[in-house]
Structures are given as structure tokens and as C-alpha cells.
Structure 1
């Protein structure tokens, strides 16, 4: 059973690492971005739940559950602020979703470079934080169009979608 939980965890982590950039680079609005975003949410959920499965087998890894919960919480928070659409939602959406992705990258590096590698623990945050800040600054300068309010013609033309 432990092997299956570990396989789910690795597949979920790998999926999140692959889906994150696809969602980030996809044209915003109806279509690919929200579909990939839902798949990313699924990968994040599976990652978090399998982390608790791994903790059940080895309680010394309790921190894995905490990190998994924080990663899923950030991804769910990013989804939630987008659904609510309150003023300033775009900055929160980008920050939370990209923050969850930084967690995926950190975990990948820690597992592959070793738990004792300080670089693996801090490099994703050092690189990711300024990139996220720059992306937020650029995105909030452009007018955002709610996906449900944008016409197909606007989306196709890239008007108001951040494209």
C-alpha cells in the first residue's frame, strides 16, 4: 500500500510541475487556461492527500502534511478569489497560484538534491518571488475581463484577456 501512495504522490507532483507552466502560459479566458487549472487543482489535491498517506506510514514526515496542506490551500485560494471576482482578485489569483507552484518546484528540488540542501529550499522562492511580483504588476496594469463576461470574439482576439 505504501508503494501505491508514493506512486500517487510522485505522479501528482510531476503532473503539477508540468501543468503549472501550461496554465501560466495559456491565453487567459475560457478554454485551455481554466481546463488546465482544474487539472492542476486535481494534481494539488492528490499531492496533499497522498502526503498525509505518506505521513501515516512514517510520522516523522509530519511536515510533509503541513507543506501539502499549504500548497493545496494556496491553489484553492487562487481558484476561490477568481470565482469571487472581488476588486483586486487578479493579483491574489496570480500570487496564490504561482506560490503553490513554487512549492511544487521546491519539493522537486529538495527530493532530488537532498533534504539538507539549503539551495533546494530557498532557490525557488528567491527566483519565483520577483517573477510573481513582476507578473502581478504587469497584469494589474491591463484591464481584466471576467471569463464569463467575455464574448468569444473578445477572447479569440485577446481583448481584455491579458493575452
Structure 2
């Protein structure tokens, strides 16, 4: 997220992120099917988060209309999804935190992460408007 948004480090990091997400997606689906009674939610979180990652990845590849908004929302949304899954799976094993209602941890990453999506989106929206005006 912190690299300059141009070809080079940012695009390489994006390729690595997407490739890693494919692995995480497949792992989540397989694990959820094997342990469906306990982990069915992993299937849904995995499918939804990977759909966001794929949206972000493809929007940068094909650059359709408003691609930047789709790219930012998709990539950051998928990140929120993977953080949510990681927290929800592991929170029962963490003393003190496991005393909070699990529903709190389902929403916490979205509550924290969504403002970042809007902040980054606005940052690049302003730059894109300025760029368009100078052309």
C-alpha cells in the first residue's frame, strides 16, 4: 500500500499479493469443506474476500472506467477480509481478548479499515482530477 502507485515495486507487490491471495483462497475453501461444521464461515469469507482481491487486480490490469476506485476498494476490501478471517479464527486462543463477544471481532476490521478505503480513494481521486484538468 505504501509504494508509489506506478509500474515497478507497486505492481510487483500487487502480483505477489494476488498470487498469495489465490493460495489463501484455495486453502480457506478446502479447510472449510473438510471441517464444514466448524468452519463453514471460512468458505464465505474466502469467496467474498477473493472476489474483492480479484476485482482490485483485474481493474488495474484492464483499467476500465473508474478503475482506480475499483482497484483501491477491491484491494483494501480484500485485506479487511483476510484480517477479519485471521482474527476470528485465532481470537478464541488469545487470553483476555477471548472474553469479548466474537461478533465484535467480526466487525472491528471493517470499522477500522473502511475509513482507510475512503481516505486513499479521496487522495487519488483528487490527483486524478488534477491530472485530467492539466491535459
Structure 1 length as normaliser, TM-score?
A: 0.69
Q: Measure, in 2, the Cα distance between the counterparts of 1:54 and 1:87.
A: 37
Higher RCO by CA contacts (8 Å cutoff, separation 6 or greater): 1
Q: Measure, in 1, the Cα distance between the counterparts of 2:69 and 2:120.
A: 9
Deviation at 1:39, TM superposition (A): 0.9
- Which residue in 1 is equivalent to 2:52? 74
Deviation at 1:72, TM superposition (A): 1.1
On the 8 A contact 2:42/2:85 being kept in 1, the answer is no
Deviation at 1:56, TM superposition (A): 3.0
RMSD (Å), alpha carbons = 1.9
Q: Measure, in 2, the Cα distance between the counterparts of 1:102 and 1:143.
A: 25
Deviation at 1:82, TM superposition (A): 1.4
Structure 2 length as normaliser, TM-score?
A: 0.82
Greater share of helix residues, 1 or 2?
2
On the 8 A contact 2:3/2:10 being kept in 1, the answer is yes
The gaps in structure 2 that reach 5 residues or longer are 93-97
Alignment coverage as a number of residue pairs: 122
